[in-house]
Structures are given as C-alpha cells and as structure tokens.
Structure 1
Amino acid sequence: MTSTLPAATSTTVPAQRPRAPKIVPAVRPPLRFRSSRADLVLCGVLLVAILVVQGWNIADYPTLSDDEGTYLAQAWAVQQGSGLAHYTYWYDHPPLGWIQIAALTWLPAQIDPSLMTVGSMRVAMLLVSAASAVLLYVLARRLSLPPWAAGLAMAIFGLSPLSVVLQREIFLDNIAVMWTLLAFCLAASPSRHLWHHFGAGIAAAAGVLTKETMLVILPALVVTMWRHGHRDTRKFALTGAVTACVLIGLAYPLFALLKGELFPGAGHVSLWDGITYQMSRPGSGFILDPGSGSYGVLRSWLYYDRVLLLGGLAGAVLLLVTWRWSVTARALAGPALTVGILAVVALRPSGYLPAMYVIQALPFLALVLAGGTASVAHAVLRRWRGAEERAYVTWGRRVTAALLVAAAAAYVVPRWYDGDRTAVTVDANAPYRAASHWLGAQVANPQDTRILVDDALWLDLVHQGYRPGLGVIWFYKADLDPAVTKTMPGGWRDLDFVVASPTVRRDAVDLPNVKAAMAHSTPVATFGEGADRIEIRQVTGSTATTAGTGTGGSAGGSR
C-alpha cells in the first residue's frame, strides 16, 4: 500500500509591496572633551576667571584658621621627615590629605622655607580649585548637560562667594572633593572601559582617605556608575570598583595594625580611640534650631551665598522628583542623590556640623542647580513644541526665557559682586601678621622661650627661631598631649607667653593649663580690635625679656 500526501490546495497569494529598508540613524560617538574646541574655549575662559577671583588677595582673606595651620604644620612634619604630624599623630584623620599638601608645597618650601606659612601656602590650593573646576565641567558634559549648562555649573562652583572663601583655605575637604569629582567623571565615562570603573574606585578611596566623611556619598557614586555602565558588564565593573575602593581603604587600618596602634593600649594612641572620639564628640545641635551651634554655621553659609545653597537644594529636589519623566533628571540622579545624602546628614539632631562641611556639597549643588536650570529652559523653549507652532508662540517662549534669565541675573549678580569684592579687597589677617612680626622682633631669645599659640601661627614662629614642639606649643597640646605635659611639671608656670587669638580664648575654657596661663598673664601687645583682636600675654613670673611693651592698636579689620 502506497501512502500519498494530499494534493496541496492551490491558492493565490496577493502580491505584496516590497518594504522600504529600515533606516537606522547613525550613532554619533561620544564627543571627547579634549577634541571639542567650543568646550575647551569655554572651560578655559571660565577657569581663568575663577583663578583670578580666587587668587586675588588669597593670603589676606578670609581670616587664618587653626585647622589650616594644623594641616600645614603636619605637611611640614612630613617634609622634614619627622613623622605624620608635628606632635603625636593620634588618628584624628587619615594622613593622606596632608601628605598631598606636603607634595603641593614641597617645591616652594625648598626654594624659601619661610614661605611655609598658612597665608603664603594658600596659593597651593589654587591648583586644587583649578582641577576641581575642570572636572566639574567634564562631569556635567558627560552627564549630557549642554555646554552652556556645564559652563554655568563651573561658574557657580568657582565664583560663588561661599566657594571663593572656602576653597581658598587649606582644608582637607577641598582635596577630597577633587578626588570625588574624578571618581564621578570616571564612573560616567562614555567609553565605558572597565579600567574607568576600577579608576573610579581608586579615586573614591583616595577621596575617603583624604577626608573620611566622603564615605557617606559613595552610594551616589555607585548609582552613577550603574546608570552609565554597559548593561552587559556593569555588574563586573561595579564589583571591580568596589573591590579596588575597599582594598585601598584597608591600607589605613593595616598601617595602624603594623604600628601596633589599631586597638587601645597602655602608652600609645590607637585608630580605635580616634574613631571613637570622632563619633562621640559633642554635637552642635539641630541645624534649624536658632539656639544651636549648627544654626550659626548655617547662617554663616547663607551670609556668603543663599543662591547656591537654596537653589542647589531646590534643584536636587526637582531632579529627584522628576527623574522618571526627565532625561536630565535621570542623568543627574547621582549628583542629586549626593546633595540629598549630605542634606540628611546635616539635619541630624545631635550631629556635629563643622563650617567646612558644606565644601563637600558645593560642586554637586552647582551641578544640580545648573541641571535644574537646563530642565526649566527646555520646558520653556521646547516642551510640547510642534512643527506647526505659530511664530508668536515661539517668540513668547523666547521672551519668557529672557525675562527669567534677566530676573535671575538681577538677583544674583549684585550679591555675588559684593561677596567677591570683599574677598579680593579686605585684609582680615593684619593682626596675625603684626603679632608674628612682634614675636620675631621683640622677644630677645626665642630659642629659650616657651609660648602657647594656635596652629595658624605655629609655623611662623618656627621660621623665626622658636623651637618646634617644646618652645612654640600648639595650645591644645599643653593639656591633651602627654609628651608635652610631662615637660611642663609646673603647668602654666613653665610658660613665658600666650598668644590669645580668638581660637585660644574660645577653647581655653576646657583646657586647664591654657586657662590658668591666661588668668595669670598680662597683655604686652595687642593687635586688632574687639572679638578678632590678638593679645600677646606674658605669664606672671616669666623671665623672658622683650625689647619693650606696647600695643599694636587697630592692626586689621574684622570680618
């Protein structure tokens, strides 16, 4: 029996029109910053303006701070090969920050050792400011902001009076911000090479080891890396970045372990004690409580610039709320999250809020403020715009945009002009210079003189012949460092002078030896007026001789 298939039914298939080939638009490769002439010109012009404004009068304003003197003195100790600090290093911060300061200031210190003072070495911070400003522009472009918005972010970051004041100062936070911006730039690299993500992890670790508080914004860096990584390799890249960051970060506790100073013990400092102190230090209160120290810090920030702080916070909220619908918001999710995290940390009811804390937020506030501005500009000029839009509607959009720009400029420019003019004209450090000169010229035998000073003047007096450590003494150490207190068996009676700067007068309340020395001394010279004055006080019973006594009068204005 033969099996046969049924005959196929004959059907007529209607002729079909050939389909036009699908045209796929060519994908333009990401524009390289170094090959874009427009970006290079705009960034270069803004960089020159920023360096001029930040560099002009940098040694004289703002007032020298004890923290600046501490970091520079520690950098000096590194340069001298005498350790990680000019006194006992007690793990208050990781040492990478002032090691970098030592590298930045090494050449001028070799050329002229007397330049190794706070005022003159502030110039080194211009290199950090320049790098941070350029990195911010690059990051803005990598996050898809148009050139004008990237330039706006760079200008806000570099020319805001708040930025000008804080970026001039020798703070670890400024260097840590530079490393963090580099990490974000690598995380958002359009090339998506794996080494970029490994590099982001290394840069993030450098930022944390420069200032440990940068640790809190690493989640925002992870978000940026995830959003801009290739979907096929992002898990591997993220794992590599986290591994690189953790392994480098572990170098700090490993250093303490090898020195036998990881945990507390008799006769030595420890990393554990340093961390415990930082975590348990008295809080400055809730930032919105008018009676708290944190509120005073907030007021000082707002005094210099309300636009960057409030506008940046508003921009972050706008971007976080609209990230589902806005391309710009999705691209800036990482920086907006950074601002949110730093704001939440600042709002802790019992946390400690230092004045330099806002430095960590400045570039991200500027970036989200520029991003929010770009979103508003896009909504006004192009949102719901069709091909058939009438000419008068288009012109209405342009007029609206121009009015918004004019209103913003009318509000911002006068306030920034006043703040920046103060920064480039006011001499706030004349009392410090006069006190330093007096101590160098009037004290007969500096080598045999013991004097308490704040760290803003410590290096000045070292260069004038006072013995570092035991002759010129950082006033905190007279009570808190056993290596110093054991050389003062008579307490305050073993001192000759106290330089009573505002910092010394403020903190002497909690330091018995310093408080007693202040109480048992009389002024022999005074420089400046009011709360900003600097008094040189000779301790009762001191045998130190001077060329004469007198008053410095009003040697400088107050801030």
Structure 2
Amino acid sequence: MTSTLPAATGVKVPAQRTAAPRTGSTNRTTPPKRLRSSRPDLILCGVLLVAILVVQGWNIADYPTLSDDEGTYLAQAWAVQEGRGLAHYTYWYDHPPLGWIQLALLTWIPAYFAPESMTVGSMRAVMLLISALSAVLVYVVARRLSLPRWAAGLAMALFGLSPLSVVLQREIFLDNIAVMWTLLAFALAASPSRHLWHHFGAGMAAAAAVLTKETMLLVLPAVMVTMWRHSHRDTRKFAITGAITACALIGISYPLFALLKGELLPGAGHVSLWDGIVYQMSRPGSGFILEPGTGSYGVLQSWLYYDRVLPLGGLAGALLLVVTWRWSVTARALAGPALAVAILAGMALRPGYLPAMYIIQALPFLALVLAGGTASVAHAVLRRWRRAGEKRFVTGGRYALAAVLAIAAGAYVVPRWYDGDRTAMTADANAPYRAATQWMATEVEDPKDTRVLVDDAMWLDLVHQGYRPGLGVIWFYKADLDPAVTKTMPNGWRDLDYVVASPTVRRDAVDLPNVKAAMEHSTPVAVFGAGEDRIEIRQIVSAGTGGDR
C-alpha cells in the first residue's frame, strides 16, 4: 500500500500509520484541510471580520492624528502614479520601494476618478483591505497551527479589535502591508497539503514582506521554523531550500536595482543603497525600553496607553508556551509565532532606535500566542479532569470552562477596550489639519507663486490646491537635507513665504537650520487647535528678497 507525496516530487513512499494518541496528550479537534469547506469556520471568521471592519473603518479619517510618515508613503505612492519616479523628492533608499508601489496600485482607481481624494485622511480607507486580509490570515494560521476554532476566533479578535490595533492598523504604514505578506508566508508554510509549491510561495511572500519593510527580516527565522515543523520529512530539505532560494532571488532584486542605477555604493553626486543602510543602522538610540525618561520608555507607555491586554498578555502567553514546551502539543505547534514574539521583544529591549510603529510587526504573533496560551491552559484543566476520573463532567466542562473564561476575559477586557475603541470611533483629532488646509486654499492669493514648508501629512492636500509640488509646497526636511531643493533656495529661509508649523515641524526644526530660521523669522497669521497639537500658519517676515521662485 502506498501514499503519494506532493505532486512536485513524484515519489512514492510507504504509507505511515496514524499513531494512537498518547495518554494525557492534548485532545483537540483536527482543523479542516480546507477552511472554505467548513461552515462553522466561515461563519465565525465572517462575523469577526465584519466587526473588525466596522470598528476600524468608522471615523477612520478623523482618528488618530495624521502622521508625517503616512504623508510620506502616500506622497511617494502619488509620485509613482504620476510617473515622477519612486518618490516625490530624490529617492535615497530609506526603505525598499515595494511598499508604496503597492499603495500606488491600491489607490490608483480612486485617485484616477477623484484626484483630490489622494490625501492621507481619505486614503486611509484602503488600509481596511489590508486589515481585512491580515485578520483572515490570522484565523487561517491559527487553524493551520491546530488551534481549536474558538481559540482561532480569539486570536482574530485580539488582532483586529484591540484599541492598539485599531489605531495603528488605520494608519498608512508600510508595516501593516508587510505584516499581511508575513502572515501569508506563515499560512503557506503551515499548509496542510504540504505541497512544495506552497513552501516556495512562502519564500516569495516572505521576500515581499521584507521588500515592503526591511525590518521583517527579523521574523524570517520564525517562518522557517514553522515550515520545518509542517513540511513532510521526506521533502523537508527541498521545501526549505526552495523557500530560501525563492526569498533570496526576489530579495536580491533590490540591491541589483541600485547596482544597475550606479547607486549601490557611495559616490560623488548621487545617493546610494549603502548610505541608506548606514543611516538606518546608525540612527541615534532611544534608550532602554524599561528605563523611565528614555524615548523607548515613552514609546512603550504609548502602546500600553491604548492597550495592556494584547502586549502584556501576548508576552505572558509566549512565556507559558516556552515553559510548557515538553508536554504541550499547542506549545510545539506555535513554535514559529512564539519565536517571532521572542525575537521582536529581544530587539525592542536593546537600547537602539525604537519607532512607535514597531509593535505592528508583533501584533499578529502576540494575538496567536495569547490565544494559544489560553487554549493550552483550557486543555490542561480538561486533562486534569480526565485523569481524576470525572468523565461525566468533561463534555459539559468544556462549555462551562469556555463560559468562565469568556466571562472573566470580558469583565477585564471589555471595559478597557470599549473606551479605547469608542474614542477611535468618535474623536476628531484632525480638525486642525483640515482647517489649516482650507486656510491655505482660500486665504493665499496665488498658490502657484507661493513657497511654503509643510509636513508630509499636508503635502498632497496643498498639491491638490494648486501649489507647485516640490518647489512651491516643500516637505520641510528637504529644505535642509535635499541638494535638489536647497539649490533653489540661494537665500535660505528668505526664499520662503509660509511655514505650516505642525507638531512634527516644531519638534524637528531644532536640527534643521533653514526650517529653524524660517520659524524664528515668521509670525503666526492663523492658529488651529490648542496646546501641543495646534497647527500654526506662520508668514515669513522677510519673504521675497530674491532667489529662484
């Protein structure tokens, strides 16, 4: 009697008998080979998906506050759409360009029919597609890693409904797109059919994740661990080799692109990939994440402000899976996600640069290990009941235990999540931005002959209002850091007319001489909002004294 291996091999091997379950082993319902054929899975996943889309989509343009990074990525996507190259200014290899190329494709249709809609607030809607795909993939990965249906639903809910997720997944960040590709890599790596092409596809998806946001390199070992555990032992070497080869061949396209442009290594008169890498690796550190007063500690507190359940509960779940590794089938099944949490947590603990969006990469794995840890505890309790001989209580006990866990979790989580999600669905944090944009559109007499410094969150808004992209409306960093811009400002700040001083501009002007001088030699003509979040429109006092306009 024979059984056929994946079609790619064409090899026949003796069929393996299914081993009887060990006494005391974790008893779980085997997930369906194809989720689309399981009506309960489809119903649960569909209901959760609708809830996630409603919570994340409601009020998406007004909360949270527009960020400069969002504006940068969307402006770069706009540049791709307009055929202006890979960025709206000189592309200097800060990130691989695949991320905003995907954004350009996602926003192409609405931008074609309504060009004025190509702004950060309105284009946040495209992130709902990314969130939907990622949430479904979390469920798929959970089931393929043998989590029971209720635990897979818990992982999906944790990932999509946590206030921390709602806030960060709404924003136009490359990390969100990279997470989608990484989850696809995990889903293919854990494919129940164990087809070699699924493993090659996992390598391709992993490469797409890295070319979207290079920091996803950190998670690749976890993808390989998952593939190792779920590949057939007779084709494991082919699967791993094929995945690594596919990932490497696609990944090498980025340095090859730089080489063909003559920008791989530093040289006179051009940017280089090497300089971009050196910059990213040498950015000033944020300090130790657990030391009060450091930048990293502030970032941690901002995460915990939105939600403590998912970050801290996920770390606890990962620790529980490590401790129970030897006797818990669930712990071994979740080795990949647990390793991803460990790597990302370890990198966060180093005293290096820690951006606020870093945790986006960890959110799905925190959700998976927290749900897996909960399932592991639940099965341990049921196993103890079996060993105690209380068989008549086991069947009913499952439902009772599930009810107890649901009530306990609900009593703690729901009040905290309700406040955070309610804020996200009702607050208007971007009224000052809209008012400032409207003022610049109606109060400036000749936008085409006006030069104004803005952050990138407002850059596209003013482009659609008639300001010249690149020379008229200027991303404030470029006034000091881009030679292509500074050469059009021979008189420095005197060649400018306005500065739209958002919190980002005020914070970073200290290290930018032209921007700092423009702020010092300007007076506010309009102020929107109050406190640290206010936006000031400041007119340069000595504007128009010459220079290339």
TM-score by length of 1: 0.91
> Is residue 383 of structure 1 aligned with residue 384 of structure 2?
yes
Aligned residue in 1 for 2:304: 302
1:129 to 128, 131, 134: 131
Matching residue's letter, 1:51: L
Q: Is the 8 A contact 2:437 2:461 kept in 1?
A: yes
2:45 to 36, 43, 61: 43
Change in CA separation of 1:86 and 1:242 when aligned onto 2, cut-off 3 Å: same
Alignment of 1:91-170 (within 5 A): 91-170=93-172
Q: Is the 8 A contact 2:76 2:100 kept in 1?
A: yes
Alignment of 1:21-420 (within 5 A): 30-349=32-351, 351-386=352-387, 388-389=389-390, 391=392, 402-420=403-421
Aligned residue in 1 for 2:481: 480
TM-score by length of 2: 0.92
Q: Deviations over 1:54-87 (max 9, x none)?
A: 0000000000000000000000000000100000
Q: Hey, what's the Cα distance between the residues in 1 that align with 2:31 and 2:482?
A: 59
Matching residue's letter, 1:476: Y
Q: Deviations over 1:247-268 (max 9, x none)?
A: 1000000000000000000000
Q: What secondary structure is seen at the aligned counterpart in 1 of 2:87?
A: coil
Matching residue's letter, 1:93: H
Q: What secondary structure is seen at the aligned counterpart in 2 of 1:264?
A: coil
Q: Is the 8 A contact 1:179 1:207 kept in 2?
A: yes
Q: Hey, what's the Cα distance between the residues in 1 that align with 2:30 and 2:401?
A: 33
Alpha-carbon distance, 1:405 to partner: 3.1
Q: Hey, what's the Cα distance between the residues in 1 that align with 2:533 and 2:191?
A: 48
Q: What secondary structure is seen at the aligned counterpart in 2 of 1:419?
A: helix
Q: Hey, what's the Cα distance between the residues in 2 that align with 1:371 and 1:333?
A: 11
Alpha-carbon distance, 1:322 to partner: 1.4
Q: Is the 8 A contact 2:139 2:155 kept in 1?
A: yes
Q: Is the 8 A contact 2:90 2:482 kept in 1?
A: yes
Q: Hey, what's the Cα distance between the residues in 2 that align with 1:526 and 1:133?
A: 40
Matching residue's letter, 1:197: H
Aligned residue in 2 for 1:471: 472
Q: Hey, what's the Cα distance between the residues in 2 that align with 1:158 and 1:23?
A: 37
Q: What secondary structure is seen at the aligned counterpart in 2 of 1:330?
A: helix
Alpha-carbon distance, 1:217 to partner: 1.0
Q: Is the 8 A contact 2:119 2:460 kept in 1?
A: yes
Change in CA separation of 1:305 and 1:170 when aligned onto 2, cut-off 3 Å: same
Aligned residue in 2 for 1:19: none
Aligned residue in 1 for 2:446: 445
Q: What secondary structure is seen at the aligned counterpart in 1 of 2:384?
A: coil
- Identity score, percent: 82
Q: Hey, what's the Cα distance between the residues in 1 that align with 2:269 and 2:33?
A: 59
Matching residue's letter, 2:534: R
Alpha-carbon distance, 1:386 to partner: 4.5
Q: Is the 8 A contact 1:263 1:273 kept in 2?
A: yes
Q: What secondary structure is seen at the aligned counterpart in 2 of 1:92?
A: coil
Q: Is the 8 A contact 2:94 2:280 kept in 1?
A: yes
Q: Hey, what's the Cα distance between the residues in 1 that align with 2:373 and 2:480?
A: 50
Alpha-carbon distance, 1:324 to partner: 1.7
Q: What secondary structure is seen at the aligned counterpart in 2 of 1:382?
A: helix
Q: Is the 8 A contact 1:436 1:457 kept in 2?
A: yes
Q: Is the 8 A contact 2:30 2:146 kept in 1?
A: no
Q: Is the 8 A contact 1:320 1:337 kept in 2?
A: no
Q: Is the 8 A contact 1:381 1:401 kept in 2?
A: no
Q: Hey, what's the Cα distance between the residues in 1 that align with 2:527 and 2:151?
A: 50
Matching residue's letter, 1:92: D
Higher-Rg structure is 1
Matching residue's letter, 1:420: D
Change in CA separation of 1:34 and 1:483 when aligned onto 2, cut-off 3 Å: same
Q: Hey, what's the Cα distance between the residues in 2 that align with 1:357 and 1:540?
A: 40
> Is residue 496 of structure 1 aligned with residue 501 of structure 2?
no
Q: Hey, what's the Cα distance between the residues in 2 that align with 1:23 and 1:275?
A: 50
Change in CA separation of 1:479 and 1:324 when aligned onto 2, cut-off 3 Å: same
Q: Is the 8 A contact 2:382 2:394 kept in 1?
A: no
Q: Deviations over 1:183-237 (max 9, x none)?
A: 0000000000000000000000000000000001111111000000000000111
Q: What secondary structure is seen at the aligned counterpart in 1 of 2:386?
A: coil
Change in CA separation of 1:409 and 1:24 when aligned onto 2, cut-off 3 Å: closer
Alpha-carbon distance, 1:388 to partner: 4.1
Alpha-carbon distance, 1:323 to partner: 1.6
Q: Hey, what's the Cα distance between the residues in 1 that align with 2:313 and 2:30?
A: 34
Q: What secondary structure is seen at the aligned counterpart in 2 of 1:144?
A: coil
Matching residue's letter, 2:329: V
RMSD: 1.9
Change in CA separation of 1:58 and 1:29 when aligned onto 2, cut-off 3 Å: closer
Q: Hey, what's the Cα distance between the residues in 2 that align with 1:229 and 1:487?
A: 58
Aligned residue in 2 for 1:515: 516
Q: What secondary structure is seen at the aligned counterpart in 2 of 1:385?
A: helix
Q: Hey, what's the Cα distance between the residues in 1 that align with 2:132 and 2:495?
A: 46
Q: Hey, what's the Cα distance between the residues in 2 that align with 1:394 and 1:236?
A: 43
Q: Is the 8 A contact 2:497 2:539 kept in 1?
A: yes
Alpha-carbon distance, 1:403 to partner: 3.6
Q: Is the 8 A contact 1:431 1:534 kept in 2?
A: yes
